[in-house]
Amino acid sequence: MKLPTDHANPLVRLLLSFWAPTTRTMRGWAMASVVVNAGIAVTGAGVRVTGSGLGCPTWPKCTPDSFLPAPHPEVSMISMFVEFGNRLLTFLVLAVGAVCVLAVLRMAPRRRSLLWLAALQPVGIVAQALWGGLVVSTMLNPFTVGMHFLISTGLIAACWMLYARSGEGDGPARRVVHRDLRRLGYALLAAVFALLVAGVVVSGTGPHSGDVMASRFDLDIEAVARLHADIVYIVVGLTFALLLALHVSKAPRPARRAALALLGVELAQGVIGYTQYFLAVPAVLVLLHVLGSTVVWIAALRVVTSLRERTPETVPAGHSPAEAAAAV
């Protein structure tokens, strides 16, 4: 028997993907939330490197008199449209988060473990929007700008956990590798987060402030860049050690593939980082480096979730009325 999500009309399939969710469609929406949250973090960096950080000089309005871009004597229209476009993306991210919540609520039986992870998304996105107002009101203070990015990493982590947990049961977590390897995975994740924080400090000290009126951290750029590089060596070393240990211990293939993928994106990110350093930090490479940072973070989260599993549900696959009906 075909499921409602097999409907020939793509619009109907889209609606049923969250109104009559299956495990596959729930995971699809969770992955969509990972992508859009990572995407808005990268486009936010694009606003900064194009010097459009104060393209909309007020918040929540774009200009003191209008919510929409309007001619302003002190701001170019291009910068205004760049910043306003990034603000509009918030509504897309919020919509995907709301769909994830609705999909979890429509699953039968309802899984509380997924509900709180899904609920974190709209709450976090609203908090991000309010923090964005603080970024504007502080004239792109590097601390508020940096926290804006780090909050995004927290949202991405919640979205990834929703994706991972959607494909698992609600039983106790069971490690699939040695206990020490799982601890090494957590240490690696902490090191990656420390690397992101160091990257934020470097960005807040470097040349791309987002606007000529923005302040910078009063730090030595060479010193913070070296610190950032040192943490890179630690992260790569931990990743290589974990990958080697997983291979020697004949760990499950998903765990080995996740660690190998993380090492690959770290090496690519390192090439971008050193290239931008020696080319005096061009804007395009800064944007690619921020994209690489989000990919490294997601890959590290994937490694951690690949080191354990949870007991699958005994309910028919998909946990939805549609699949239950199809199984009859």
Q: Is residue 309 classed as helix, strand or coil in its secondary structure?
A: strand
Percent of the chain's residues with pLDDT above 90: 72
- Report which DSSP code applies to 60: S
Residue 53 CA to residue 84 CA, distance in Å, equals: 10
Phi first, then psi: give them for residue 319, nearest 5 degrees.
55, 40
Q: First CA to last CA across the chain, in angstroms?
A: 9
Encoding tokens for residue 172? 């106790």
Encoding tokens for residue 60? 């929540």
Q: How confident is the model at residue 193 (pLDDT cuts 50, 70, 90)?
A: very high
Statement: residue 253 has pLDDT above 70? yes
Residue 160 CA to residue 166 CA, distance in Å, equals: 10
Statement: residue 5 has pLDDT above 80? no
Phi-psi region of 190 (alpha: psi -120 to 50; beta: other; left: phi over 0): alpha
What are 137-187's pLDDT values in tens digits?
Answer: 999 999 999 999 999 999 999 999 999 999 888 888 888 999 999 999 999
- Supply the pTM of this predicted model: 0.90
Q: Is residue 310 classed as helix, strand or coil in its secondary structure?
A: strand
Residue 315 CA to residue 322 CA, distance in Å, equals: 13
| The pairing of beta strand 308-310 with beta strand 173-175 | antiparallel
β-pair partners for 308 = 175
Contact 242, 256 (CB under 8 A): no
